[in-house]
Amino acid sequence: MLPTILDLSSLRAAYRSGLTPLDIVEEVIARRAASKDPAIFITPVPDDELRSAAKALMARAPEANSLPLWGVPFAVKDNIDAAGLPTTAACPAYEYRPDVDSTVVARLKAAGAIVIGKTNLDQFATGLNGTRSPYGAPRSVFDKAYISGGSSSGSAVTVASGLAAFSLGTDTAGSGRVPAALNNLVGIKPTPGLLPNTGAIPACRSVDCITIFAPTVGDGIAIRRVAEGFDAADPFSRRAKPATLPVSGLRIGVLTGVEREFFGDKEVEALYDQAIERARALGATIVAFDYAPFREAAALLYDGPWVAERLAAVEDFLATNAADFDPTVRGIIEGARGKSAVNAFNGRYRLEELRRKTEAEWEKADVLLLPTAPTTYTVADMLADPVVLNGRLGRYTNFVNLLDCAAIAVPAGFGNGNLPGGVTVIAPAFTDDALAPLADALHRTAASGMGIDREAAIPEASRVVAVDDGFVEIVVVGAHLTGMPLNHELTGAGARLVKTCSTSGEYRLFVLPDTVPPKPGLIREPGFQGAGLEVEVWALPADAFGRFVQKIPAPLGIGKVALDDGTSVSGFLCEAHAVKGAEDITSLGGWRSYISTRLAS
């Protein structure tokens, strides 16, 4: 029985139990047919084509979980190309049918993920509310009277309602974050350029980001790692330069005084205050900072010359098809006609002045913790006042890409009206991984579940743990696992459990003969497509790591172990000669299962 929300852990467990991608596709088809929101998809992949995609994956990679995203269903915002499906940007007259996938979609499909459809959006990704589409307005999964947030409206609702395990959005002003907040989801907003935009229709090309909606931070980070990477075809693509944040003594900047603006929404304000207290309880130092220069930078995105980038993206089409535009979207884009090159340069100068002012605030705080959206609105209210109310939604999001930041939006709980609120952690460029432990901890301590399932427990397998500088990660597979006879060698050396996960599918596990206590041998076999083996990742102090490794007896040693999320970590491997004639226990899925089977017999 699958849970309501399709996270990576539950899907991998389902596949280990014997379900196939075809079974999951049938479940998606059934759930899609039962959905009560007709505005989620612009183009759902037809049922038979979904079945064919699942069968093709099983033919290409027959063993369960043999690829990082094997059989994981996902949805794509309809301003990102997916081969064979029309791209409309929520404008029927603009439709074209690409022959090739966007770079990000291609990478996800290569990792085993299955596209289930193209989702609705605010037309040409212009809006934060989800009502600016001729295909209808996707609704909050908690109350159909309320907006879902935009522009990535349909993408958020697919995940929050359990139709997909993750989805792609885009984010110029907050479109990968606001819908996450309004649907109790995680929104991964990478550093600009970390995910290539090749094959995505631009809104503001210089600051656009492809984003990920996921049930958990761990899922979102794993998916981002599959999708990221430099792409020479995108002139704004960047090579990652990972930056760190303090693990202990982290300073978190929060809003104070007149910069705390919730437009009368006391419930979202209370959720924000509760998130601050949870961050304090997690050991962070809470500091005040001046949001004013960030707010002024945010205003440049729509009130300054950057709106001219939106016109640049669709100028030729607008000249011949103005009547095909949503009236509000057209009004915003046509507002750029009065902008000059002088305005553009003056806007750039002003942004750099504000950036210099924000540097003083970054001296006070390592991370900013902000409300994702200060409030929400009904669809009726939004349609009655589409520009002013939309602008309020972006108060704490619009600056992030202009100032080259990474951000992760997470659920913050529910108000008395049973509507969710969210907070976002933000830090300078390339802190994408460094932000994840804090974001994950804030989500877990909010106890708000995942998507529409408010009671769902966030899987331990997706936990993201901060590792201090000077610690080294190691993969253990046998007697050093939690509860096993040699685990004390790790805990006694000050090691910390980072996560439980699986190897990639190219490993076999054997029982080593005549070892005390019993130990397995992990062998990498290129070309083997297994289901992956359960392992744990621990973090050891660097000096203890060296002493630990010196004690490892032959035929065991340390080498790089590929994990199911596409990363590689140093871990226990075995020399091949030692397992000749040894019992192959790969089919059991890991050492713990073998020990349990052995004790039962």
Report residue 337 as tokens.
């006609």
Q: What is the pLDDT of residues 471-498, one digit of tens each?
A: 899 999 999 998 888 988 998 888 888 8
Is residue 441 located within the same domain as residue 483?
A: no
Q: Cα separation of 427 and 289, whole Å? A: 14
pLDDT score, position 1? 80
The pairs formed by 339-347 with CB atoms below 8 angstroms and a separation of 24 or more are: 339/305, 339/307, 339/308, 343/304, 343/305, 343/308, 344/305, 344/308, 346/305, 347/300, 347/304, 347/305, 347/306
Q: How far apart are CA 440 and CA 453, in angstroms?
A: 17
Q: Please provide the DSSP assignment of 60-118 as one string.
A: HS-STT-STTTT-EEEEETTB--TTS-B-TT-GGG-B--SS--HHHHHHHHTT-EEEEE
Out of 66, 102, 140, 151, which one is annotated catalytic? 151
**Per annotation, catalytic residue among 77, 109, 118, 499:** 77
List, in sequence order, the alpha helices (H) in 427-570: 432-446, 488-491, 542-550
pLDDT (average), residues 224-233: 94
Please tell me whether residues 539 and 579 are part of one structural domain. Answer: yes
The string of pLDDT tens digits covering residues 282-334 is: 999 999 999 999 999 999 999 889 999 999 999 999 999 999 999 999 999 99
pLDDT on residue 279: 97
Calculate the alpha carbon distances from 208 to 160, 309, 369, 528 in Å: 23, 11, 22, 39
Average pLDDT, integer, range 587-600: 85
pLDDT tens track for 420-474? 999 999 999 999 999 999 999 999 999 999 999 999 999 988 888 887 767 899 9
Q: Is 241 a catalytic residue?
A: no
Would you place residue 53 in the very low, low, confident or very high pLDDT band (cuts 50, 70, 90)?
Answer: very high
In a domain, 326, yes or no: no
Same domain, 443 and 487: no
Q: Is 577 exposed, middle or buried (0-12, 13-18, 19+ CB in 10 A)?
A: exposed
Q: Which two tokens stand for residue 371?
A: 């409300």
- For residue 331, being part of any structural domain is answered with no
Q: What is the pLDDT of residue 247?
A: 84
Bridge partners (DSSP) listed for residue 424:
370, 409
Q: Is 77 part of the annotated catalytic residue set?
A: yes
Same domain, 119 and 186: yes
Would you say residue 29 lies in a domain?
yes
Whether 103 and 220 map to the same domain: the answer is yes
- Boundary residue ending a domain (453, 484, 504): 453
Among residues 400, 423, 453, the one where a domain terminates is 453
588 alpha carbon, distance to own chain's centre: 31
- Asked whether residue 586 falls in the same domain as residue 501, the answer is yes
Query: In sequence order, what are the residues at sequence separation of 6 or more whose Cβ sits closer than 8 angstroms to the Cβ of residue 410?
Result: 180, 186, 217, 422, 423, 424, 425, 439, 440, 442, 443, 446
Structural domain contains residue 448: yes
Q: Is residue 464 part of a domain?
A: no
- By percentage, how much of the chain surpasses pLDDT 70? 99
The position carrying tokens 């505005």 is 39
Is 508 in a helix, a strand, or coil?
strand
The radius of gyration of the chain from alpha carbons, rounded to an integer in Å, stands at 24
Q: Is 305 inside any structural domain?
A: no
Q: Residue 220: what pLDDT?
A: 97
CATH number at residue 515: 3.10.490.10
Q: Specify whether the backbone of 508 is left (phi greater than 0), alpha (psi in -120 to 50) or beta.
A: beta
Kindly state whether residue 352 falls inside one of the protein's structural domains.
Answer: no
15 and 95 assigned to the same domain: yes
Co-location of 106 and 54 in the same domain: yes
Task: Tell me, yes or no, whether 255 lies in a domain.
Answer: yes
pLDDT tens-digit map of 172-217: 999 999 999 999 999 999 999 999 999 999 999 999 999 999 999 9
Domain count, the chain: 2
Q: How far is CA 192 from the centre of its chain?
A: 14
Mean pLDDT across the stretch 366-373? 98
pTM equals 0.86
Same structural domain for residues 398 and 437?
Answer: yes
Q: Could you identify the residue written with the tokens 């997690």?
A: 282
> Is the distance from CB of 251 to CB of 285 less than 8 angstroms?
yes
**Do 76 and 185 reside in the same domain of the chain?**
yes
Q: Same domain, yes or no, for 565 and 448? A: no
Tokens of 101: 């996938």
Give the list of residues 6+ apart from residue 304 with CB closer than 8 angstroms, or none.
343, 347, 350, 351
Q: How far, in Å, CA of 447 to CA of 457, rounded? A: 8
Q: What is the pLDDT of residues 102-115, one digit of tens each?
A: 999 999 999 999 99
Please report which confidence band the pLDDT of residue 601 belongs to, taking 50, 70 and 90 as the band edges. low
Candidate list 66, 140, 175, 448, residue with the active-site label: 175
Q: Please give the pLDDT value at position 506.
A: 92
Domain-terminating residue out of 409, 426, 453: 453
Out of 67-71, 100-104, 495-499, 568-572, the most confident range is 100-104
Point out which residues pair with 77 in neighbouring strands: 119
CATH of the domain at 143: 3.90.1300.10
175 assigned to active site: yes
Q: Across residues 348-353, what is the average pLDDT?
A: 97
The least confident of 258-262, 353-357, 525-529 is 525-529
Looking at 33-37, 89-93, 435-439, 567-571, which range is the least confident one? 567-571
> What is the pLDDT averaged over residues 45-69?
94
Residues 409 and 479 in one domain: no
Tokens of 385: 């006042």
Mean pLDDT (the chain, rounded)? 95
Residue-range definition of the domain harbouring residue 221: 8-231+248-262+360-453
Exposed/middle/buried for 541, CB within 10 Å: 0-12, 13-18, 19+? middle
